[in-house]
Amino acid sequence: MSLKGKTAVITGSNSGIGLGIARELAKTGAHVVLNSFTDRDEDHALADEIAKETGVTARYIKADMSKGDECRDLIAQAGACDVLINNAGVQNVDPIENFPVEKWDAIIAINMSSAFHTTAAALPVMRASGWGRVINIASAHGLTASPFKSAYVAAKHGVVGMTKVVALETAEEPITANAICPGYVLTPLVETQIPDTMKEYDMDRETVIRDVLLARQPSKEFATVEQLGGTCAFLCSDAAAQITGTTISVDGGWTAL
């Protein structure tokens, strides 16, 4: 499949899943816009590296996804947006009665409200070009829950709900909106949870991965960023033109349990 000439904007894409998706979409010919709130030399270097490897135009644009106006400005600065991947996300784990209010607000803003703002800004651009794909990176936690992740589970369920609304509002147009629900993927977001869990349960790394992180992932394997990039590419293909308003789980069987 080819996305030659199309532009994909991927929020939160200087690391992990977002970066993996950007690399896979660039391989199919899409120009890519990388984003984070950091604006470091390394962020721009990642875009340069993708451009060099694939021959597409790759740019880095700084925007803080916790701020609605910056979300909208990201789309304006991108200039084109045929494929919007709402991927930026953060996590915090605490019982609800101790859950820090500022963490709740940040998770709801970055993991959910950012997708509202970018989608609102991107749909007119997609309509003007006559084609579009909105792909929200939700989570198995957009379909199921775990204790101590109130904000994350609420935000991801919200993203799944908003995906359905966007699909209905664009149903008669050549635009689709879907959510991908990954199980565990070994990215910095997950890697940082391993040392604390090793300490908490007095376990070695392998046991934490198998018995704690992958306890609910029947395949006992992490999904990979390349597989998520491939799923995005599929949702951009003609084969997926009638897939809209739904979720695709990439979770090793988690939600079959």
Burial class (CB in 10 A: 0-12, 13-18, 19+), 188: exposed
Regarding 15 and contact with ligand NAD (CB under 6 A), the answer is: yes
Is residue 18 near ligand NAD by the rule CB under 6 A?
A: yes
| Residue 60 · residue 15 · CB < 8 Å | no
Per CB under 6 A, the list member of 8, 26, 46, 65 interacting with ligand NAD is 65
Q: Examine residue 244 and tell whether it contacts ligand NAD (CB under 6 A).
A: no
Angle made by CA atoms 84, 120, 81, in degrees to the nearest 5: 30
Nearest-CA neighbor of 138 among 120, 118, 112? 112
| Distances from the Cα of 179 to the Cα of 26, 79, 93, 235, 253, angstroms | 20, 24, 23, 10, 17
In the stretch 174-213, what mask flags binding to ligand NAD with x, by CB under 6 A?
A: --------x-xx-xxxx-----------------------
Smallest separation (angstroms) from ligand NAD to the CB of 222: 7
Helix H or strand E encompassing 59: strand 58-62
The one segment of 51-59, 82-90, 127-135, 160-168 that binds ligand NAD by CB under 6 A: 82-90
Nearer to ligand NAD among residue 88 and residue 236 (C-beta): 88
Render 224-244 in DSSP notation, one character per residue: -HHHHHHHHHHHHSGGGTT--
Q: Of the listed pieces 13-21, 44-52, 165-173, 238-246, which binds ligand NAD according to CB under 6 A? A: 13-21
Look up residue 35 and give its two tokens.
């984003």
* CB-nearer residue toward ligand NAD: 43 or 82: 43
Token couple for 207: 């046991």
Stretch that binds ligand NAD, among 15-23, 95-103, 169-177, 230-238 (CB under 6 A): 15-23
* CB closer to ligand NAD, 61 vs 80: 61
Look at the block and give the residue holding tokens 């030659």: 4
Active site residue ranges? 152
CA distances from 111 to 91, 132, 187 (A): 9, 21, 16
Provide the minimum distance between the beta carbon of 238 and ligand NAD in the complex, in angstroms, as a whole number: 26
By CB under 6 A, is residue 24 in contact with ligand NAD? no
Q: What distance in Å separates the CA atoms of residue 155 and residue 104, rounded to the nearest whole number? A: 9
Give the integer Cα–Cα distance in Å for 133 and 247. 14
Binding flag, residue 229, ligand NAD (CB under 6 A): no
| Interactions with ligand NAD, residue window 95-114 (CB under 6 A) | 110-111
Nearest to ligand NAD of 28, 35 (CB atom): 35
Binding residue for ligand NAD (CB under 6 A) from 6, 8, 12, 217? Answer: 12
For ligand NAD, the closer of residues 111 and 176 by Cβ is: 111
Binding stretches for ligand NAD (CB under 6 A): 12-18, 35-37, 64-66, 87-90, 110-111, 137, 139, 182, 184-185, 187-190
